Structures are given as C-alpha cells and as structure tokens.
A = this chain, B = another copy of it.
Amino acid sequence: VEDDDEYGPIAREVGLFLRRWLRTFDKRADSSGLDRTAYMLLGRISTDGPARLSRLAGDMCVDLSVVSRQVAALEAAGLVKREHDPADRRASVITTTDLGADYFNRKREHFRALLRTLLADWTPAERAEFARLMGRFNGAMAAHEEGK
C-alpha cells in the first residue's frame, strides 16, 4: 500500500482533470450551431487530410457510429463534403470545404487563446513536459488496448 502515495494523486488529479476539462471546453453549441466534438473531428480532417470514416474513428479513438453521425452533421452544415471512393464502393472519403477550413481556423484561435491564458505562468519547459508525459500516457493506453 506504499505506492498508494504515488498513484493516488494521479488518479485523483486525472479524474478532476477530465470533469473540469469537459466543463471548460465542452460548452454547448455556439451561434454557429456546432459543438466540441464537431470541432475536433473537423480539426482532424483539416490537419491530417481527407480520410474515410473508419480511419477517422480509429484516429479519433471513438466508435464508428459516433463519426458517422458527426460527419452527417458537418455535411449538413456545409463544413465537409463526402466523395464516394471509386475504387471501393463501400467507402466514402471526407474532405473539408473552404467554409469548414475557415470555421476551424477561427475556432482554433479561440481554443488556443484560452489554453494560453490557462498556462500563462508555466515555463516553456513545463508545457513541453506536460505534452510529452501526456503523449507517453496515451501510448501506454493504446498499447494496453492492443494487447487486450
């Protein structure tokens, strides 16, 4: 029970982090009518390029059904367009429209501004270390999911 001292704080802070993050960033749809999940999916498509839905689901680490509904919403809003893959008629390839790219860039600025405010008194080394440890944690969880 000795290393409870080591893992206890991690468990507690992570739990709080999840709930606080969702409360801070997961605000209801803005005037544009789109929410956090739509923004994040649009970001994936904008930065990493077009992809089919199953690929997006894997990259975003969510269920395919979620991506299916999100893409339908983004498509209805005119932010992405869907093109049928001529080589595989089961699949669709999703691409951002110009409107979608503009929308994402505006949203990203608001997001980054909030992040800069929150981490204003951190040193660059701390910010880099936070991203690095977070990345290692993600890698460990991914490996655990594979190995299961």
A residues with CB within 8 A of B: 3-4, 6-7, 9-11, 13-24, 40, 60-62, 111-112, 114-119, 122, 124, 126-131, 133-138, 140-142, 144-145
Assess whether B61 is in contact with A9, with CB atoms less than 8 Å apart.
no
Tell me which of B14, B61, B115 contacts A134 (CB under 8 A): B14
Known A-B contacts A21-B141, A23-B145, A118-B137; the reply to A127 vs B16 at CB < 8 A is no
Taken together as a complex, chains A and B put the C-alpha atoms of A142 and B14 apart, in Å, by 14
CB-CB under 8 A from A111, the residues of chain B are 11
Taken together as a complex, chains A and B put the C-alpha atoms of A24 and B145 apart, in Å, by 7
Assess whether A9 is in contact with B112, with CB atoms less than 8 Å apart.
no
Known A-B contacts A24-B145, A111-B11, A127-B10; the reply to A17 vs B134 at CB < 8 A is yes
The A contact surface, by secondary structure, is helix
CB-CB under 8 A from A130, the residues of chain B are 10, 133, 137
Taken together as a complex, chains A and B put the C-alpha atoms of A124 and B126 apart, in Å, by 17
Q: Output the residue of A6, A10, A23, A137 with the most chain B CB within 10 A.
A: A10
For A148, give the chain B residue with the smallest CB separation: B24
Known A-B contacts A134-B13, A144-B24; the reply to A116 vs B3 at CB < 8 A is yes
CB-CB under 8 A from A20, the residues of chain B are 61, 138, 141-142, 145
Assess whether A133 is in contact with B128, with CB atoms less than 8 Å apart.
no
Smallest beta-carbon distance A121→chain B, Å: 8
Assess whether A10 is in contact with B141, with CB atoms less than 8 Å apart.
no
